[in-house]
Structure formats: C-alpha cells, structure tokens
Chain A
C-alpha cells in the first residue's frame, strides 16, 4: 500500500462541548486521499466541509479520531510546513507588494532575500502576473488577488494545497478562467489538492474525486470519482461533464432529502 497524502479515521469534531451551544460539526468521518489527487468537498452549509479542511490543516483539533498526513500527525505536518492554504478572501497583506506577499511564507522559513525574490518571480510567472510584482493588492482585481494567494500558497512547494472556497467571491466568468488556471498549475506542480466549494460544476470540472457531505451531523455520504481526462474548453459542454454534474446533484439532493 502506498502512503496516503491524507488519511482521516473516525474524525468527530464537537464545538463548545458540554455547553448549551454545543455543535456537532463532524461525525465519524473517514477519508483517504492519494498523492496527486484533486479532491473536492461539497455539501450544504453546515456540513462541516470547512471544519474538515481545518482539521486536516491542524488549525483545529478533532474531538475524536486520527489524522495523518504523509504518515505524520497533522500538527507535525503543519510544523514541517507541508500545507499551502488559500481562503475565500485572498488574505493578502495590503501593506506588502504582490512580490513581498508571495515571499511571506519564505521569510518565515528563513530563506535568504535573493532566493525569496527569485522564487517570487518564478511564482508570478506561473500565475501569469509577472508585470505586477511591485503593485500592491489594492491595485489588483479579485481574480488577480486570488492568483497571488495561490502563488503564495505554492511558493514553498507544500505537499498539500488546501483551498476553502477560493473562488467563491468571484464572478462567473473570472471563476471559470481561474479554474482553468488552477488545473494548469496543478498539472505543472503535481501537488495534492483538497478543495472546498459550494458549486457543483466547479467541483466536477476541477476534481479527480468529489466528496459529498451531509449536514447535521456533518459526515461523508458519497464519494464520486470523476474521470473526464484532460480538461479543455470543450469539457464544460461535453455530455460526460453534464452526466457527472447530474450525479453530484442527485447525491446532494439525496443528502438534503434525508434531513
């Protein structure tokens, strides 16, 4: 058996345990992700998909259950800087230039200035924003800011890219463009991606596997492998794409019907 990128076993997360406002966000979640996979987590609000992402990232401790990332504990993986993260709000620091934003994690890891700047330049080429290195985030559009956030997340070659609705705040056109870009970057870097989304087409277009979750309590209800081969401009209009969208939608409907 090859080593899993992420292996979650029996994850349960209860917020405010023992208090009147106790919330059970996740119940007994099992999930295994192979290296190089692109896995989307989708489900109604309150299904705990963001919580699951944060548990994997070791930003919050599970109440019960085990999590391992490339054979390490999640906390060890975080301390080893195995995670690149991107959120719905780009979270760029508006007092830093685009280039210095990408350098932030490298600074924290003690890279030399020369190496940092060289790396930031390469990352900006990767996300096609080379001429904006010295601009400040306030001068960029939402889509460009997300690209910078992705460049920052990938700048130190993390073994796992964790994304929480990174395109949620973008308009539809920009969003589709960004999805194409993300797939290109994914295929160029070979990183494992865990991607939280609200959008069914987005999950189908991007992923090698869609994980459908149900709410109250949050748990995984179905996993749908997506085998559409290499994506291109025609993918979004292909029958296979629509068939998968229908499959995910019905899985989601079953989840909501069960409530």
Chain B
C-alpha cells in the first residue's frame, strides 16, 4: 500500500467524526509541505537573480556612462556618479581582486577579508550575546515591577539617543584603564563588543517586554489555578510566548551588532577587523579601488550571514507552532 492509501485507510477506519475531519485536513496539509519546499527553492533563485541583476545594473550604468561621456542619453545632463575606472572599477576587477595576493606571495584579499570578517564576527557575536542577556534581563525587570517600568523605560529609550560613534573612543579608554577587576585581560576588541551590545540590548528589551506581556489573561489564570510560581509562569508561559515577538528584534539586533562592530572599530581605531580594513582600503583607494568594494561586499555577506542564522533559528524554533512571526 502506498503512503496515501495507508492514510486514507486510517481515515476511513476512524469513527470519531471530529477526529476524522481533522485527519483529512492534516493529510491535505502534508501536501502543502511539499509546496513550501518549492517556495524555498524559488526564494533562493530570486536572490541569485537579484544579485546578478545588481551586477548587470552596475556594469550597464558604467558602460552607458563610458559611451556618453558621463551624460544621460537623450535627456542630457551629467550622471550623478562618474563612471571612470577609479570611481567605478570594472565588476570583473572587483571579482578577481578577491583571489589576488596583497603582496607578492602573501595572503590573498579573500583570505584577509575572511580573517578580518571572523575578527569582526567575534566582536559582534560577543556583543550580541551580551546585549540579548542584558535586554532580556531589563525586560524581566520591567515586567516584574510596574514602578520600574515607569521609572526606567524613559532612560532606556534615552540611552539610544546618544550617538554610539561618539562614545566608542571613551569605551576603549575605559576598557584599557579601568577594568582591572575583571578575571580576564580586557582587550580592545571586547570594547568594540560593548559598543555592539549598546546597540543590541534596546530592541531586545522593548520587544521582549512586549512578548512577555503577550499571554492571554486566561493563560495566566490557568497558571494561577495550578498555583504556579512567578518563575514557573515566566519560564513555561511568558518566555515561550514572547519568542514570536523576540525573533524580529533579534534579527534587527544581529544586524545592529555587526554594524556596531564595524563602525566601532573605525571610530575607536581597533585593528584586525573589517571596519579597520575598510578604513585602510579607503585610505589607499587610488591604488586599488576594487579592494574597498571587495571588503564592503565582505561586510554585506557578514551581515546577511548573521541575519540568516537568526532566521533559520527562528524557523526551526517556531515552525511547529503554526503561526508566523508577528
């Protein structure tokens, strides 16, 4: 018997009408699952075509500018961006630059971007984890006490109005001089992480609080009727209920942590990461513009990677709930 026939036989043998109807609905849903796989393939193809389209647009614009002398065809007027090889290096140069060593016999650009990317990823990840822990702690604290929510929330919001680029050098100086009480040697990259944390904790705290408050009154009454403690209700009801609210914030926080790490490196002058690499290549732009482009592509890939990791985690965690993220 085929799988489908088995299912049909099982459905036909069910006496309970409510259960039978539901088994039919489930069998239909299983067919939908194959549909979802096809959707996934389609999404990947769309992304590939999008990247190719972007490359074609770049190359096409450049070719157009080259042939018209940087003027719009027909309507005339100057193009917003000049198309000479210094400002817009040929796409092929950018692509091949990844494989070229920076000095004869040395590391390739791709290798350098990889090691710098990993350095930045470490900063971002440490900052992200710390930010999530701090953000959730604040959310739980604010949930616990309405008084704190009224008193503390305005300061949490105000903290985000301070431009983080401005505080980055101070954080580095603090880190070097004043963190002797820590059991480990504080290093500059950890100060960059702290900057990433500063950007990360806020969305987590705000969405976390909203999510922790999301359970229906009936669900909270149910926990009360079991004489569940506050901690049990938090862990078994409020926290899982908050996840659909939390994941969009985590995606935001993940990108923010990468941005925070890159800009933090630039602002604080920490060596070793992508931010510093971009700054270096910007300084040596005239001798190799394609390297700056290549390192920016590296930064974009890093951002896509962290968002992808969070997205996959979200799908895995929420897949069986039968509800999409809010």
A interface residues (Cβ-Cβ under 8 A, vs B):
54, 57, 59, 78-81, 83-85, 87-89, 91, 93-95, 104-105, 107-109, 128-129, 132, 135-141, 143-144, 162, 173-174, 177-178
Contact = CB atoms under 8 A, between A and B. Distances in A.
Nearest to B237: A93
Interface stretch (B160-168, B256-264, B318-326): B318-326
Nearest to A54: B221
A137 B241 CA distance: 14
The 9 closest A-B pairs by CB, nearest first: A138-B322, A143-B18, A141-B22, A87-B218, A85-B225, A136-B320, A95-B240, A94-B321, A79-B227
Nearest to B319: A136
B170 interface: no
A176 to B, nearest CB: 11
B132 interface: no
Nearest to B221: A59
B107 interface: no
B19 interface: yes
Contacts of A173: 17
Given A89-B216, A95-B243, A108-B226, A136 B321 contact: yes
Contact of A94 (B218, B222, B232, B322): B322
19 contacts: A57-B225, A59-B224, A59-B225, A78-B227, A79-B227, A85-B221, A85-B225, A87-B221, A88-B218, A89-B216, A93-B240, A94-B322, A95-B320, A109-B226, A128-B16, A138-B320, A138-B321, A138-B322, A144-B22
| Majority DSSP secondary structure for residues of B touching A | helix
B81 interface: no
Contact of A128 (B19, B22, B221, B225): B19
B18 A177 contact: yes
Given A91-B222, A93-B237, 10 more contacts: A78-B224, A87-B218, A93-B241, A95-B241, A108-B227, A108-B232, A132-B19, A139-B22, A162-B225, A177-B17
B304 interface: no
B21 A141 contact: yes
Nearest to B240: A95
B228 A108 contact: yes
A94 B227 contact: no
A139 to B, nearest CB: 6
B224 A141 contact: no
Interface of B: 16-19, 21-22, 25-26, 29, 216, 218-219, 221-222, 224-228, 232, 236-237, 240-241, 243, 320-323
B321 A95 contact: yes
Contact of A141 (B25, B228, B323): B25
A91 B225 CA distance: 13
Nearest to A162: B225
A144 B26 CA distance: 13
A167 to B, nearest CB: 12
A130 B225 CA distance: 26
A129 B20 CA distance: 11
B247 to A, nearest CB: 13
Contacts of A109: 226
A162 B26 CA distance: 31
Nearest to B321: A94
A105 B227 CA distance: 9
